[in-house]
Amino acid sequence: MGLLSDPVRRRALVRLVLRLNAPLCVLSYAAGIAWFLALAFPPLTQRTYMSENAMGSTMVEEQFAGGDRARAWARDFGAHRRKLGALPAAWLERTMRSVGLEVYTQSFSRKLPFPDETHERYMVSGTNVYGILRAPRAASTESLVLTVPCGPDSTNSQAVGLLLALAAHFRGQIYWAKDIIFLVTEHDLLGTEAWLEAYHDVNVTGMQSSPLQGRAGAIQAAVALELSSDVVTSLDVAVEGLNGQLPNLDLLNLFQTFCQKGGLLCTLQGKLQPQDWTSDGPLQGLQTLLLMVLQQASGRPHGPHGLFLRYRVEALTLRGINSFRQYKYDLVAVGKALEGMFRKLNHLLERLHQSFFFYLLPALSRFVSIGLYMPAAGFLLLVLGLKISSAPQSTCDQPPSGPSPLGLGQGWRTYDTRVRGDMQTHFFG
């Protein structure tokens, strides 16, 4: 007979567990913590690889060369924004139309739940402007989104300039099989949420927004861009979204391949990538991993991409950081990386689903899948299980009213006979 079906052995096992309860709890807790810390180290980490066959191994030569136009538009945008004090929707509309996109605007407003000093309730209202580049030879069934969130000041104007330059470049190509939506939102995440809600025709946050006049099809992937200046020394990628949701790992793999191809310096959680694991790599990996866990635990969307994830749209946020480093990349390099990513995403036939949805990242090129980090959580939950198992000790004098959760201890025997009785009636009744 098996270990758990043989009553004698079962009782022996139960007695062992009860006797060693405290040490087992401590051991299990320690094992969980140790396993979690070991996640950053080589045997438990794997190299990332592209799982989606459609975004395969071949690379295209990028043709983007609109750096000057991007800077000019960024300057214009910054100037208009400073003059207006809000998003210059009319200017954006005009410029997008001149580039050749179908432009629509959306106005939204939201009453913030927390009052501030001056007003009872604070009403936020704004406008989103988006332009749709229609696929020249395909039906508009799917789309990709490039979004630039604009906050209360004009810090993201370089990103707007790059977005317009990319739109102008993309408009001249004939190989798009999906529509591309170029979205500029006001008030950062509020605008993005308003747009997404209107696009998917839902209302989860109680935002009042005007309905969208133009639509493009199911969104397959989205990239959000935040650039602080027109030269960047590194590109930081953020993946954690609302409630700790993560995009498909293939999107990150895609970004990482273009980082490597373009020789860009890419960081995760603001940390540089270790080129080899022999130096202080492992400890840095552990730090990155813990930062990612903390960010996921906070539940905040760390960028507009976090809001896209709720609608099962894979999204990333790229932040260009300008620090005191010698080698700087200009807008053309960032534009080429984005062009490459969009061309590869263009090859997709289905939503990204081949790679992992739950993972932890000790580095950009290393990941830990859920199958490997679940045991750590399992060990921690085992502590609870062990504690529950020792609970009925106190009630072992009275017969239990119903079957106790695990039925160990004195109540176990009555459960045992009751079960046997039930089984008898079942089998012979």
> In the complex, which residues of this chain contact another protein (CB under 8 A)?
53-54, 56-61, 135-138, 173-177, 343, 346-347, 349
144 versus 363: smaller Cβ distance to another protein: 144
Query: What is the C-alpha to C-alpha distance for residues 245 and 143, in angstroms, rounded to an integer?
Result: 22
Helix (H/G/I), strand (E/B), else coil: 115 = coil
Our CB check for another protein shows the closer of 319 and 336 to be 336
Residue 429, exposed/middle/buried by CB under 10 A (0-12, 13-18, 19+)? exposed
Minimum distance from residue 60 beta carbon to another protein (Å): 4
Cβ proximity to another protein: between 58 and 425 the closer is 58
Beta carbon of residue 57, minimum distance to another protein (angstroms, whole number): 8
Cβ proximity to another protein, 138 vs 383, nearer residue = 138
- Distances in whole angstroms, Cα of residue 249 to Cα of each of 240, 246, 328, 366, 377: 12, 8, 28, 11, 21
Residue 372 near residue 44 (C-beta atoms within 8 A): yes
Minimal distance, residue 137 CB to another protein, in Å:
4
Min CB(44)–another protein separation in Å: 30
Closest to another protein by CB, 57 vs 394, is: 57
Which is closer to another protein, CB of 4 or CB of 174? 174
Our CB check for another protein shows the closer of 57 and 118 to be: 57
**CB nearer to another protein: pick between 305 and 343:** 343
Burial class (CB in 10 A: 0-12, 13-18, 19+), 72: middle
Q: Which residues contact 201 (CB under 8 A, 6 or more apart)?
A: none
CA angle 151, 300, 214 (to 5 degrees): 55
Q: Quick check: 234 and 325 in contact, CB under 8 A?
A: yes
> Shortest Cβ distance from residue 138 to another protein (Å)?
4
By C-beta, is 7 or 56 nearer to another protein? Answer: 56
Name the nearest CA neighbour of 284 among 366, 352, 212: 366
Reference 193, options 108, 129, 256, 118; nearest CA is 108
Contacts of 180 (CB under 8 A, 6+ apart): 132, 133, 143, 144, 145, 146, 167, 170, 342
End-to-end CA distance of the chain: 25
Q: Please give the radius of gyration of the chain, using alpha carbons only, rounded to the nearest integer.
A: 28
CB 316 within 8 A of CB 258: no
